[in-house]
């Protein structure tokens, strides 16, 4: 005799039964257009320089950077975020290479715009840490503290120089109070209302930045806890968000991404502007290191980590795997 209505009557597993079914009902999808590639360009090198703590990532030459930008266009990703690494001898307390039209970042911006035009959003890191001999994100006062308002003057000049060099988007990452408003005003004063500001709205003083310090040849001694946010705080992040929007941010970002998915979700729920998240160097290197040891499936771990960031609310993700992942998505 057949028994009907047996427990369980509802079987969610039916929607997981095969790859096509799982693909059809997937609630979160990654697309190449979601991705932005952070890239480093180093002055005075003739070959790309491997970053030992970030396997597979290099400090580019000007020529190899142009090639990477062209590959990004072909893969269909949306942007490339450039970080310039000047020669050590050119660093100074004011971060002069950051506002020199012939500084490595400005040269690289012109190179990449000439290579890709408007087929890729060319973004620039707007910060002094790569160019100062003390490694902080701003200029110092006579007591060795980061001087917020003096730094804003430098940021305003940087914004104008980067816009002149071809940046579609500037990304002020220094976490100075008032930086978005000052940069927006500086751009508008030179008639560059078209240049967007991607605000580093939530940027925590994280241990996961470690490999990035090698990538940009940082000169930092000490830490950045007087201006980057305390990992323990949430309300502080929402206050920063309100301030950045009031000052004219076009897009906002959470950094790091993986350890702060709760913050990312809060931000995404609160705003009607695009939200980005930066999967930073330490997040990248942990997966690469574990995969190298054979402890995890590299490709699955990469996609899982990015899907989690996207699911939490990021419209766009800065990731060092951007081009590689986009190429794989295009083959699916």
Catalytic residue among 67, 90, 91, 203: 203
Torsion of CA 301, 312, 252, 74, to 10 degrees: 40
304 a known binding residue?
no
pTM: 0.94
- Tens of pLDDT along the chain (332 residues) come to 565 666 778 899 999 999 999 999 999 999 999 999 999 999 999 999 999 999 999 999 999 999 999 999 999 999 999 999 999 999 999 999 999 999 999 999 999 999 999 999 999 999 999 899 888 889 999 998 999 999 999 999 999 999 999 999 999 999 999 999 999 999 999 999 999 999 999 999 998 988 877 777 777 776 788 888 999 999 999 999 999 999 999 999 999 999 999 999 999 999 999 999 999 999 999 999 999 999 999 999 999 999 999 999 999 999 999 999 999 999 98
Chain centroid to CA 217: how far?
17
Is 293 in the active site?
no
Whether 66 is catalytic is no
- Residue spans of the domains in the chain: they are 28-252
Is 3.20.20.70 the CATH classification of the domain at 28-252?
yes
Q: Which helix (H) or strand (E) holds 261?
A: helix 261-270
Among the listed residues 66, 255, 293, 328, the single catalytic one is 255
How many Å separate Cα 286 from the centre of its chain? 17
How distant, in Å, are the alpha carbons of 60, 205, 219 from that of 213?
Answer: 16, 13, 8
Residue 281 counted as an annotated binding residue? yes
Q: Is 184 annotated as contributing to ligand binding?
A: no
Across the chain, the runs of DSSP E, i.e. the strands, are 35-42, 49-50, 58-60, 79-85, 121-126, 169-172, 196-203, 251-255, 275-278, 316-318
């Amino acid at each position: 005799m057949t028994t009907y209505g047996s427990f369980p009557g509802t079987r969610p597993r039916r929607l997981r039964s095969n790859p096509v079914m799982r693909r059809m009902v997937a609630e979160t999808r990654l697309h190449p257009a979601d991705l932005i590639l952070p890239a480093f360009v180093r002055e005075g090198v003739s070959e790309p320089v491997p970053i030992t703590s970030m396997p597979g990532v290099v400090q580019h030459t000007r020529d190899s950077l142009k090639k990477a930008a062209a590959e990004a266009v072909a893969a269909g990703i949306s942007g490339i975020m450039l970080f310039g690494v000047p020669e050590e001898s050119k660093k100074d307390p004011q971060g002069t290479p950051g506002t020199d039209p012939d500084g490595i970042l400005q040269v690289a911006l012109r190179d990449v715009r000439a290579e890709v035009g408007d087929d890729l959003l060319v973004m620039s890191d707007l910060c002094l840490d790569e160019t100062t001999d003390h490694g902080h994100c701003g200029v110092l006062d006579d007591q060795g503290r980061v001087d917020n308002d003096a730094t804003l003057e430098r940021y305003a000049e940087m914004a104008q120089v980067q816009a002149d060099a071809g940046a579609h988007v500037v990304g002020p990452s220094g976490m100075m109070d008032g930086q978005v408003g000052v940069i927006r005003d500086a751009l508008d004063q030179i008639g560059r209302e078209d240049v967007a500001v991607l605000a580093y709205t939530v940027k925590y003083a994280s241990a996961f930045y470690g490999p990035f310090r090698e990538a940009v040849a940082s000169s930092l001694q000490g830490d950045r806890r007087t201006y980057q946010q305390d990992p323990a705080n949430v309300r502080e992040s929402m206050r920063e968000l309100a301030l950045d929007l009031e000052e004219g941010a076009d897009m906002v970002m959470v950094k790091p991404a993986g350890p702060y998915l709760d913050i990312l979700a809060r931000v995404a729920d609160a705003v009607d502007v695009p939200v980005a998240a930066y999967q930073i160097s330490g997040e990248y290197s942990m997966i690469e290191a574990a995969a190298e040891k054979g402890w995890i499936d590299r490709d699955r771990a990469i996609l899982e980590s990015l899907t989690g960031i996207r699911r939490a609310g990021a419209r766009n993700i800065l990731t060092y795997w951007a081009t590689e992942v986009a190429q794989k998505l295009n083959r699916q």
